[in-house]
Amino acid sequence: MNSIETYHSFDILEGMVRTGYYAKAKTYNNPVCISRVNKGGFPEIPELAPLFQILNSYKYVNHDEKAYVQSYEEQLDNINWDRVCRRCAEMLKQGPITLLCFEKPGAFCHRHAAAERLSRELVRRGILTEDQISSPSERIADEQPSLFD
């Protein structure tokens, strides 16, 4: 299970699976939506978007990051990773993919945990190699302001 710190990470800007946010989506080569709302008509991996009940509980009920992490990790444990990885393999033929969501870098967001899990699953299936994924130590702070600030 990923820690809460993973969900507060800076974006992954290296490797074949990267993370970013919608305010900068046009600057990424291969943006992929992993949010419930696709702001821009990008290709999607809907399985990686948090379920509405997870989002609503966090946003409107309790703002409990620990509960959000636990619920989202359970969601990831129950998706069809073979199907997701096949879809990603097709997307990766065009180059690195950037998983998009709304939160600015460093803010609490699921995309960092999604990227780490997706990377592990792609390596496990032989689609990527270890040297093609970014480690958490390679995360870079993005100093560009979000449109939502």
DSSP code string of 28-85: SSSEEE-SSS-TT---B-GGGSPPHHHHHIIIIII--HHHHHHHHHHHHHTS-HHHHH
What integer pLDDT is reported at residue 48 of this predicted model? 97
For the chain, domain boundaries = 4-129
Mean pLDDT in runs of 10 for the chain (149 residues)?
Answer: 57 83 91 93 96 91 88 96 96 94 88 92 94 62 43
What integer pLDDT is reported at residue 6 of this predicted model? 59
pTM: 0.83
CB 7 within 8 A of CB 113: yes
